[in-house]
Amino acid sequence: MKLPGVDALGSVGLVGERKAVALLCLGFYTTLFFMIGLSARTELPEWLPVFVGMTAVYVTAFMGVAAEWFWGRWFATGLGYWGCTMAIMAFVTTRSLPAPMVIFGVMHALISVCLMGEKMAGVFDAKPEWRARWKLDDQGVLRVRRSVTRAASSLPALIMFALAPRENAGSFAVGWDFTAMLLGALAIAALIGLLTSLRTWTVLTLAAVGVAVLAHLGTSTTAISDAHPFFQAVDGVPAAAFPFAGLFGGALLIVAAVPFLAPIASFLRRRAG
């Protein structure tokens, strides 16, 4: 992805420094979600699964960047895009710019910007070993990058969609939507498969789960309970806006599969012929 001016960081260098800034931001939100999860155990236990899931996502991104795994910067960049999108959505929803929301958006933007550029790619995805193992040319690498980035962007939204506590229709009881949880688990399994084996089933599963999530939004009979104070304070997003998480996550899963649909169709045509 080329951004005029911004991607010039790739020629400036400062790879180690930029990586350190990205890790600082990822580490901050890893710690923040972990600490909120600890407090949620006693104060709002129904929200504990959300913050455990969010902590796991940020730990994965932190480890991917710190260990310089080939997909590490793609995954972290996807989280950065998600954070920027949430900040923009909060502004559109509330027509205000509270300081926590600005910090949330700026720190996630820093993650994405700091990991851009060809010199940064040389530390991660430009390594020849994984390309040789998967037998990928430059176009193949581009497809994987787009899919991983988009799927990573969808994960926090899917966690909120799948694990946020819901008020059962016609009842004050608070529980979870197990269909949403199953769809979230399938999406995570497909993303892990994409990062480890790049099989056709992983791409098709991402697309199928995305479609199922969008379909489930239209048929669900439960409503997400009051938003956790973290989301109200940081993003200014009321509980009524939480269905956006499912919409955003489902759409991105479908978009994540798009780069591979043409090669899959071409392969199937050759096999049929």
| pLDDT tens sequence across 243-261 | 566 777 888 888 888 888 7
Q: At what angle do helices 200-219 and 138-163 cross, to 10 degrees?
A: 30
In a domain, 3, yes or no: no
Q: How far apart are CA 196 and CA 173, in angstroms?
A: 40
Which tokens hold the place of 112?
């994405």
4: in domain: no
**Lowest model confidence (mean pLDDT) among 7-21, 60-74, 148-162:** 7-21
Q: For residue 173, which phi and psi values (nearest 5 degrees)?
A: -65, 145
pLDDT at residue 241 greater than cutoff 70: no
Predicted local distance difference test score (pLDDT) of residue 56: 94
Whole-Å CA distances, 162 to 41, 82, 149, 177: 19, 17, 20, 7
Q: What's the predicted TM-score (pTM) here?
A: 0.83
What is the Cα Rg of the chain in Å? 19
Confidence check: pLDDT of 210 > 80: yes
Instruction: Count Cα atoms within 13 angstroms, Cβ side, for 159.
Output: 21
Count structural domains, the chain: 1
Task: Please compute the mean of the pLDDT values over residues 202-223 and round it to a whole number.
Answer: 77
In a domain, 143, yes or no: yes
Report, as an integer, the average pLDDT of 198-215. Answer: 84
User: What 3-state DSSP class applies to 116?
Assistant: coil
Kindly state whether residue 172 falls inside one of the protein's structural domains: yes
Q: Which two tokens stand for residue 207?
A: 């697309």
Residue 61 and residue 26 in contact, taking contact as beta carbons nearer than 8 Å: yes
State the Cα–Cα distance between residues 138 and 62, nearest whole angstrom: 26
Mean pLDDT of all residues in the chain? 80
Give the strand pairing for 166-167 and 223-224: antiparallel
Q: Which ranges constitute the DSSP H helices of 164-199?
A: 178-196
Two structure tokens written together for 23 = 């890790």
* CA–CA dist 88, 191 (Å, integer): 26
From CA 173, how far away is CA 157, in angstroms rounded? 24
pLDDT at position 5: 46
Domain that holds residue 167: 9-272
Asked, for residue 231, whether it belongs to a domain, the answer is yes
Q: Say if residue 168's pLDDT is above 70.
A: no
- Confidence band for 134, pLDDT divided at 50, 70 and 90: confident
Identity of the residue numbered 43: E
Cβ atoms within 10 Å of 64's Cβ, excluding its own: 21
Note whether residue 109 is domain-resident: yes
Q: What's the token pair of residue 217?
A: 């939004």
Indicate whether 247 belongs to any domain: yes
Contact (Cβ atoms closer than 8 angstroms) between residue 152 and residue 58: no
Report yes or no on 48 lying in a domain.
yes
